[in-house]
Structure 1
């Protein structure tokens, strides 16, 4: 591309800072391309932080004969367990069974396929269990005597996005949060994009190619004058979750089969809580204002109460969240059975639309996107992301992907080195930052040297690290996307944190001036 006088330029502009946009930015930057990513809000500010927080093959997709998607997802599950063993970890599921559900032979067949569709090295296979003798039987209604167990993975979804963006940045990409792409114009051999920052200032950027990774806004971006037409092929589905105080004292998660043929997950969450979800409801409003409604809350509570011996009620909810999933419209009658696969649509000269997808397959999606974009850019570089750990993922040997990651051994070494850290804080640092946890602590040799405790569990040292290295700006960024400490906060805590952020911003502005 001929560089225009005074105009910033790049090889690839990625619009959207969710998991697909961040994953593509990481892949492209690692191939040596000049990459810019812009996101209208915070990284993972919408759909990518509102998932069920699972890395899974999608057992239920087998029922709809989506064998290729399940196989791809199972392969990626193994890859992600190695790339980021601090934020992705094995989770064993229990599926209680009775005569009113899918036949036991059908479930056994599905689990056999699930175990064998892809190579499985890190996780144990499925099994049938007697719930009366299994830890997961405690707390369930007495009518559930038999169950099935299988393995999948849990992930901190928002941190998965941030770590991809962080790796992209360290490989040369420019990450612009709170920066909206106001429009793109096709020129002779490039695209001209207008970007607007939070303060209202604008800049123009010349890009050889653009990726539309705007998720539920994909139609609006593709055709701002006629988003309804551009949304053809895209089905927006709302998924809502609730979090309650923990309902059981064991490490297993549950997958419940409901009378409406949907499944419901009940997952141990941050030691003291249980996450329950999800709903699937067709959505047509503004994705930025999506919220759970009372009907969804009742549905989640009632379906969970069919299984637990103690009822779950809306009064028990301590946190609720919703997101809009941009799914491929396969003309399914109900939202719950719409495919979770993805489609990459290339529009010459150099505009790639990303439609559909899920957390588990984001890395493969990014790789396939680069296979499409590299020939257009006249660039050749090999695939690489499956062999390089995400930031903090090298918990066994620095800079190296572990064949069989051992998080417990890593945590023990960390606790031995930082004996003065409370165990709960040491474990959280290791879970969130992996091998980079020491960077958060810095030169501190005691808890007081971490600075003020801004809210329960969040000290100044960590807050400053997140602001300076991970694009955090607001209390929501810190409490809900970089950490989940918002669950342990009272309103006064949040107000104090917001005041501290304001004082810090004013100080930094004064220093800059």
Structure 2
């Protein structure tokens, strides 16, 4: 993923460095295509680092009769649990049932039975009220009838993107962040012939020739390729979250529940040593080129839900460690409530320009193959193969001396073969944990040296998720961070000072419990 000199011609150019573009890149490279992926900001800068961190089958989609989406989602979840073990991990959700609100026992049983039939594994079970209270001390017991326990999965979303891109680059693909696709170039007959690119840092421009271009830019998709359906357009929807320490909000059980006002499904999930509360789902009317942040109304909405499900929790918004918000690219005809919009994807083809948009994190691989099948006729005559291959076929070896098995498993799931280089680094504090987080200091050094870090927020918000799980976003540890990463980043003292100042301003504005612009 290190920044390199550009090529003049490839088989396929992928515009967009989120999970969809990364998925297309990974699948295309291992099918023998010469690929270039470009991203105008950082890899996973948009939705793919700000999701709810769930790889889920979409239980709520059954209620909306989106059976195809649920089927695809459950199957992909099961694949990822096996092929991306450690990066994608199972999580048991508890859904409490109340007499006065929410679905009844029969409806939940029917939905979860279908869910399990699709997965081919019977996992859900009904719990009595006493067991629900045992799993979640302090849960609202008013008219509590019982609850259901069912399984889904969670992921480090940004590291999933980086793992896909890393796999592709190790097999010969090229990936450039902070590289803008200015225009899709066409010949006199209108067929795609390449892309005009600009290096965001230097302003340098150049062209790369290719017979096909994939537009995987999420909420920006219609800037390169307007919707071919006059009534269907992208609808940016914002989902915001609050993040608490497990000491402040001691919930060890993932909970799925319904908001007391609008009955939307929400969750509380332990993740990466913290607890996530989310998510909202509303129209985002801000500039999609700027980092989104939680609004006061959204925070109040989430806190009201938390107070209803765990009424004895002595927690306020100011007790949160951090917050984050992401903007989802949803295809819409503009007639539904935001939370009822379909998460299915679409593929549009225009003489070699293949646009893929919509969809969800869980089904990124399905999106990738639908996209490649649409692009294949413009690239070569023989069809691409390997659709059934494993997402990540590599397997870790024996745990090295001096490292516990769980840490090694976690590192390998996120860095693949790069783990061997990571563990070989001779850096200050090396294998020591970073404060009380699940991360070790060598991860920062490895990312700084090998993962195309251009700014400090790339490192602390996406490569290693310190900015999401630590009070003050890791700013209190900046002296040690500098000791570990300044040399591999090759930043002089002046550059380091600028980056710290910029990161602090960004974190305060968009990731603190009370973002500055929301005050």
Which TM-score bucket, shorter chain as reference? 0.7 to 0.9
1:418 is aligned, of 401, 406, 416, to 401
Residues 429 and 441, structure 2, Cα contact 8 Å, conserved in 1: no
Give the TM-score taking structure 2 as reference length: 0.83
Partner-residue secondary structure (3-state), 2:460: helix
- 1:115 paired to 2:116: yes
How big is the shift at 1:119? 3.6
- 1:493 paired to 2:495: no
Give the length in aligned residue pairs.
473
Aligned counterpart, 1:372: 374
Aligned counterpart, 1:125: 123
Residues 14 and 213, structure 1, Cα contact 8 Å, conserved in 2: yes
1:226-245 aligned at under 5 Å gives the runs 232-245=232-245
Separation in 1 of the partners of 2:380 and 2:318? 58
Partner-residue secondary structure (3-state), 2:57: coil
How big is the shift at 1:443? 6.4
Aligned counterpart, 1:195: 197
Aligned counterpart, 1:102: 103
Deviates more, 1:91-100 or 1:463-472: 463-472
Aligned counterpart, 2:156: 156
- 1:480 paired to 2:461: yes
The 1:500/1:454 distance shift into structure 2, 3 A limit, reads farther
1:355 is aligned, of 343, 347, 357, to 357
Separation in 2 of the partners of 1:429 and 1:35? 27
Separation in 2 of the partners of 1:356 and 1:45? 17
Partner-residue secondary structure (3-state), 1:85: coil
Separation in 1 of the partners of 2:416 and 2:184? 39
Q: List per-residue Cα deviations over 1:313-339 (Å, max 9, x = no partner).
A: 211111111111110104342101111
How big is the shift at 1:10? 1.2
1:271-310 aligned at under 5 Å gives the runs 271=273, 273-289=274-290, 290-308=292-310, 309-310=312-313
Separation in 2 of the partners of 1:433 and 1:145? 44
Aligned counterpart, 1:408: none
Aligned counterpart, 1:406: none
Separation in 1 of the partners of 2:229 and 2:383? 36
1:12-411 aligned at under 5 Å gives the runs 12-99=12-99, 100-116=101-117, 118-121=118-121, 124-134=122-132, 135-143=134-142, 144-188=144-188, 190-197=192-199, 198-222=201-225, 232-246=232-246, 251-259=252-260, 260-271=262-273, 273-289=274-290, 290-308=292-310, 309-348=312-351, 350-384=352-386, 386-390=388-392, 394-395=395-396
Partner-residue secondary structure (3-state), 1:450: coil
Q: List per-residue Cα deviations over 1:43-101 (Å, max 9, x = no partner).
A: 10111111110111110111110001000100101111122102101110000110122
How big is the shift at 1:475? 2.4
The 1:276/1:463 distance shift into structure 2, 3 A limit, reads same
Residues 222 and 230, structure 1, Cα contact 8 Å, conserved in 2: no
The 1:231/1:463 distance shift into structure 2, 3 A limit, reads farther
Q: List per-residue Cα deviations over 1:436-476 (Å, max 9, x = no partner).
A: 534311166xx967399998876664333213333233322
Partner-residue secondary structure (3-state), 1:208: coil
Separation in 2 of the partners of 1:266 and 1:216? 27
How big is the shift at 1:341? 0.6
Residues 428 and 484, structure 2, Cα contact 8 Å, conserved in 1: no
Aligned counterpart, 1:402: none
Residues 37 and 176, structure 2, Cα contact 8 Å, conserved in 1: yes
Separation in 2 of the partners of 1:249 and 1:423? 26
Aligned counterpart, 2:430: 450
Structure 1 unaligned blocks of 5 or more: 1-5, 399-412, 509-513
How big is the shift at 1:261? 2.3
Partner-residue secondary structure (3-state), 2:206: strand
Separation in 2 of the partners of 1:207 and 1:147? 55
Deviates more, 1:307-316 or 1:335-344: 307-316
1:440 is aligned, of 418, 422, 427, to 422
Residues 232 and 333, structure 2, Cα contact 8 Å, conserved in 1: no
Residues 136 and 251, structure 2, Cα contact 8 Å, conserved in 1: no
The 1:230/1:220 distance shift into structure 2, 3 A limit, reads farther
Aligned counterpart, 1:468: 449
The 1:478/1:422 distance shift into structure 2, 3 A limit, reads farther
Residues 86 and 433, structure 1, Cα contact 8 Å, conserved in 2: no
Structure 2 unaligned blocks of 5 or more: 1-5, 493-519
Partner-residue secondary structure (3-state), 2:202: coil
Separation in 2 of the partners of 1:390 and 1:302? 41
The 1:341/1:451 distance shift into structure 2, 3 A limit, reads closer
